[in-house]
Structure 1
Amino acid sequence: MSKPKYAKKMPKKAYEKELERLQAELVDMQRWVVETGTRVLVIFEGRDAAGKGGSIKRVMQYLNPRSARVVALAQPTESEKGQWYYQRYIERLPTAGEIVLMDRSWYNRAGVEKVMGFCTPEEHERFLEQTPVLERLLVEDGIILLKYWYSVSDDEQEKRFRSRQKDPLRRWKLSKTDVASITKWEDYSRAKDEMFERTDIDEAPWWTIESDDKRTARINTLNHLLSSVPYERLEPEKVKIPDRPSADDYERPDKDEFRYVPDHASTLK
């Protein structure tokens, strides 16, 4: 499939209107997933600061967290290092009627671990051999598996890094490993190319999302996700809200008996 032509920047009004429509569809999709017991696993990968987190946030925004969750694992513990590599990820796969969004996944071994020397060449090669087998097993067992790669240009990545550096609310997103991706850009490119060559299988293909424009990337993510799950719109059960009965036999305690948080809001202009 040839690379599509993306608009340079999606207009804000068009973005907000389409985002609302797609998020409403996601709510419908989740209802179908729950009712049918479907399992959906979505893997979000890509370079640092490529926009994965923003897309995940828009997918999750209105979903019921009881049947949809984000998996974003920290570095493995000493105990986890002694496990089969995939074990801690498999423990978090979706159960019936559940959607799981993985903010990075077992593909850490093909990217940052490979480039930064956190795994041996033998471990990396074993990963490339085993991953297609694992993913075929997941799909054969009925899991809907989607793999998204967010592609960001080197100039845009550096721009986002510098923005994070100045923003106290997002400074935590900038680590030494993230910064190293600037000087190791070509190493990451070669690792990604090899990963695609070995793990882009018909049963679980890689889908690339151009993400220099975050709005475009988010809309394209939601639209493709919806098109990849064969859901049907199910009418929600009608709920009748009853009239509130009078509280003839209840007397509310005096407010002075309770502790209230200070009204900081009233001090603001």
Structure 2
Amino acid sequence: MKTTLKVESVTKSFDGVRVADSVSFSVESGQIAVIVGPSGSGKTTVLRCIAGFERPDSGTISMNEAVVSDTSTFVLPERRHVGYVPQEGALFPHLDVAGNVGFGLERSADRDARVAECLELVGMSGFERRRVDELSGGQQQRVALARALAPQPQLIVMDEPFSALDAAMRPGICADVVSALRAEGATAIIVTHDRIEALAVADRIAVMMNGSVMQYDDPVTLYRNPASDQVAAFLGDFYVEDGVARDGQVTTATGSFATGESELSGEVEVVRQTPQLRVFPSKQ
């Protein structure tokens, strides 16, 4: 499978504070990758570096094997062929729905057809002449996605696209947006702080904490085999108890069990994550 995006050791600081710390991951063509983590973990900064809104202090970003950012190269956002969907859509209030979707398209005989196609993809057919201030928040996000898809960019990036929506609306709109991305065959990165959302929609997930990618995996591997107790804690309900590991066995206050990890020895932390558990070396 062709690699659309490659991020290698990207670092970014603001006012001496390192916000992104040697971030690396790649996204294959047609995949939906999600960057998930708590507020302040560096998710949006990484997304903005990919889109070209921020220049990294170091590291390399490549799209379709062409470098768009490194120590000597910086391709401007408008030349990266990236479709950007911000948190609240940021539609143009002076344009109707069709005008917003077609904004980045050259005027041609195919323009109206492409606008109609993208609106159909996001479930907004028939809204072409509607004013954007007449739309609900969910409808505005659908139009914002249609606008991003219309020029057929190499990559779609979405920054917390569902966080401003009513909680009852989020699952349905999220499912519709992901369906539209897959129908278009788009390669996309979605930033969210919602772990359930990430696990539900992603082909690959980057868990970010304190500016670093703690783990990058498919959802099943990530949930079943978290790389650390921090990742396990973020992904689901858990509790931690102390134990002692020896010869592939761990003994805790609640009993003994086999770990299948014979290299572990001495004091350990047992992270129980329903309906399973994982064992990590003790921090002491």
Higher relative contact order (CA 8 A, sep 6+): 1
Structure 1 length normalisation: TM-score? 0.30
Structure 2 length normalisation: TM-score? 0.29
